[in-house]
Amino acid sequence: MKHTSLVVLTSLLMTACGGGGSGGPTTLSGSFDEVPVSVGRCLDMAEGSECAPGVKVDSNLAKDGSTVLTFENNSLVAKDLVLTGNGIHQVSTVLMSNDGTPNTSASQSGSGGLVLNRNTLMSNRMPSLVEKDNAEAAGLLHSQMNSPAPRGLSLSGGAAATGVWNSIINDNLVQAQTFLGGSAALPGGGQVKVWVENKSRQETNFDWGQSVPGDEIAQRDMKIAPSQAQAMADMFATKVYAAATELVGAPWGSVPSSLQPWLLDVGTKDIHIVLLDITPDGKELGTIGYFWSANNFRSGVKSYSNEALVFYMDAATFGKLNIYTDTNNQQYGIWRPDGLYPAIGMTTLAHEFQHMIQFYQKQVRHGNPQSAGDTFQNETAAQALAYVIGRQMFPDVAKDPHLRAATAGGGFEGEFQQSLGYSGCQMDRWGEPGDACTAEGHYSQALSLAMYMLHNYGPGILKDWIQSPENGIGAIEKGLASVAPGTRYLDVVRSWGISTRMEKADAGKRLGFPTKSWQMVDGTQLVLGAVSPGRYFNFQTGEFTNPLAAGVAPRYALNVNAMVGGSGKVKVAPGSKLHVVIY
């Protein structure tokens, strides 16, 4: 059953960061009961105390972070929470509806449009045929159960032998001519093989990390040399595959006998990555990568199937050089696997790997195929796996595509920073009729929600989430229950909304994004370092900012911001809960 909730992350007492909204406290018209709240009094009280009628101090980290108050309006009439103080502290509010009571108030998010518009190209766009095939895969599996077998596999003379891959370029079905650029052994057997489209091939190999002179940039930029293809193979085998299969599960294996005649052989272990200019425009970003479930079927079912476990990745993005200018005003380029664009390629590859794994684990393995139309659950799981693996591949957050900040010298903000400038998405209605949220908004919000769950419950939630036969919210709750039985998705969303406005995490209350460690089977620790939203967003001014240097004290603790009149009203509808975050 779908829970209905609307998260409204409002800056009612903040200066908006551009693109709509207005600064200063908001006074709402109408005659309602009022609940006076002295901010100073609440800051002085212990957690669990009632600092005003019906207002509870949930978390108090005022000395080095944020304080969280909660007011639940259980009456039949709206109430005004009147926040007062001698020079009121900065306040952000998170308004939530209770179970079964949709919040119909207009969203006052209003501040994220410009942030997202700067980076819409970073969002992955699926070719329409891929979307169609992936969405219809469950129905196809149902219809083929116990039907006569199609012709056998043809790998001996197919793509894996010839280097010709049925692909989608610019929404057109084409045969991509490729060469084998690199390969690496996978843990547990099989190989990952990286194929490079001839059009994207860099004929002259070079050692990555070396400087590319300015007169060679045009020749080498956004092209793939064997050394680069090998770097992708090595990183996938050692950084992506090993962690993903342990945390989530295998991408292929045994299948119900009723489906076996229509699908890849159960012993299939090799994974293929085809690097090509997907859009094609000779430019980075755009469509960065995709998983196409048609390839998991035999070609007697899908005539254009390559009959292999395949990803398609954008060569222009992975091969993009970082361009610099030296003191003599001469340009040069450098390519490294942890460079700005290759890092995006690798985290996208981890994202797409989740889709491959979920197709097998949730749609095929149980013999009760699930619909891939569950965009919300599937994409949030993909963002979660990509984030966990990205933190291990790129421990320097300045290089992690999820956590990097926009810098004065160029570049763009990561998805987490984007998420702080956008709100109002009903996550579990992603792609449904009436969904007013943009795809860019959904992806960044899905990352933020996934981060909250991973930092507070750990990566252990992923296996039951992705391997269970449940779909949608039920799948997420299945994963959460494996770590914290009884945890409800709706409660998680509430805590996530609060956490996006906290300067510092309160791990004991599962608020914020605290450090989380997880022990892998080999005894190593998978560590997700703490993340502070305040390192990206200035809650005092409503502006995005570059991260503070390590070790700098929180800059907003107990700062006083003289608001107009020193007070503000926040309307709380009947059956709603208001969380107030004070800095």
Average pLDDT over residues 428-435: 75
Contact criterion met (CB below 8 Å) for 457 and 465:
no
Confidence of residue 94 (pLDDT cuts 50, 70, 90): low
Write out pLDDT tens, residues 443-468: 888 999 999 999 999 999 999 999 99
Q: What is the pLDDT of residue 23?
A: 33
Average pLDDT over residues 246-251: 98
Average pLDDT over residues 534-554: 46
**Percent of the residues in the chain that have a pLDDT greater than 90, as a whole number:** 41
Count CB-CB contacts under 10 A for residue 342: 25
> Could you write out the DSSP letters of every residue in 115-150?
HHHTTGGGS----HHHHHHHHHHHHHHHHHTTPPP-
In this predicted model, which residue has the larger pLDDT, 123 or 107? 123
Q: What is the pLDDT of residue 462?
A: 98
What SS3 string covers 337-405? CCCHHHHHHHHHHHHHHHHHHHHHHHHHCCCCCCCCCCHHHHHHHHHHHHHHHHHHHCCCCCCCCCCCC
Confidence of residue 579 (pLDDT cuts 50, 70, 90): confident
Write out pLDDT tens, residues 184-208: 999 989 999 999 999 999 878 888 8
DSSP 8-state symbol, 190: -
Q: What is the pLDDT of residue 548?
A: 29
Q: What is the pLDDT of residue 580?
A: 80
Q: What is the pLDDT of residue 91?
A: 66
Whole-prediction pTM value?
Answer: 0.83
Q: What is the pLDDT of residue 304?
A: 92
What residue segments make up the domains of the chain, in order of their start?
Answer: 8-117+418-458+479-582, 127-371
Confidence of residue 438 (pLDDT cuts 50, 70, 90): confident
Average pLDDT over residues 329-343: 92
Whole-angstrom distance, CA of residue 79 vs CA of residue 364: 51
Count CB-CB contacts under 10 A for residue 509: 18
Q: What is the pLDDT of residue 266?
A: 94
CA 207 vs CA 291, 336, 436, 536, 572: distances in Å? 30, 10, 47, 35, 61
- Which is nearest to 567 in space by CA: 89, 200, 53? 89
Write out pLDDT tens, residues 375-416: 899 999 999 999 999 999 999 988 899 998 876 445 677 889
CA angle in degrees (0–180, nearest 5) for 505-510-515: 50
What SS3 string covers 497-508? HHHCCCCCCEHH
Q: Tell me the two tokens of residue 481.
A: 């229950």
Give the list of residues 6+ apart from residue 510 with CB closer than 8 angstroms, or none.
456, 457, 495
CA angle in degrees (0–180, nearest 5) for 302-297-383: 110
Q: What is the pLDDT of residue 222?
A: 94
Q: What is the pLDDT of residue 146?
A: 57
CA 573 vs CA 70, 80, 104, 105, 568: distances in Å? 14, 9, 9, 8, 16
Q: Where are the alpha helices (DSSP H) in 170-215?
A: none
What does residue 83 show for φ and ψ, rounded to 5 degrees? -90, 125
Write out pLDDT tens, residues 493-533: 888 888 887 878 888 999 999 999 999 999 999 999 999 88
Confidence of residue 73 (pLDDT cuts 50, 70, 90): confident
Contact criterion met (CB below 8 Å) for 461 and 479:
yes
pLDDT of residue 7 exceeding 90, the answer is no
In this predicted model, which residue has the larger pLDDT, 281 or 294? 294
Contact criterion met (CB below 8 Å) for 301 and 262:
yes
- How many Å from the N-terminal Cα to the C-terminal Cα in the chain? 37
Buried b (16+ CB within 10 A) or exposed e, 47-79: eeeebbebbbbbbbbbeebbbbbbbbbeeeebb
What SS3 string covers 464-493? HHHHCCCCHHHHHHHHHHCCCCCCCHHHHH
Count CB-CB contacts under 10 A for residue 359: 25
Q: What is the pLDDT of residue 13?
A: 25
Confidence of residue 31 (pLDDT cuts 50, 70, 90): very low
pLDDT of residue 90 exceeding 80, the answer is no
Q: Where are the alpha helices (DSSP H) in 28-84?
A: 39-43
In this predicted model, which residue has the larger pLDDT, 346 or 11? 346
In this predicted model, which residue has the larger pLDDT, 235 or 80? 235
Q: What is the pLDDT of residue 49?
A: 94
Q: Indicate the average pLDDT of the chain.
A: 78
Q: What is the pLDDT of residue 417?
A: 86
Contact criterion met (CB below 8 Å) for 414 and 123:
no
In this predicted model, which residue has the larger pLDDT, 224 or 147? 224
- Cα 101 to chain centroid distance, Å, stands at 28
pLDDT of residue 86 exceeding 50, the answer is no
* Alpha-carbon radius of gyration of the chain: 25
Give the list of residues 6+ apart from residue 314 with CB closer than 8 angstroms, or none.
275, 276, 277, 278, 279, 284, 285, 286, 287, 288, 289, 345
Q: What is the dihedral of CA 126, 424, 57, 574, to 10 degrees?
A: -140
Q: Hey, which of 151-160, 164-173, 535-544 has the most confident mean pLDDT?
A: 164-173
Confidence of residue 63 (pLDDT cuts 50, 70, 90): low
Q: What is the pLDDT of residue 363?
A: 87
In this predicted model, which residue has the larger pLDDT, 212 or 96? 212
Q: What is the pLDDT of residue 529?
A: 96
Confidence of residue 85 (pLDDT cuts 50, 70, 90): low
Contact criterion met (CB below 8 Å) for 567 and 555:
no
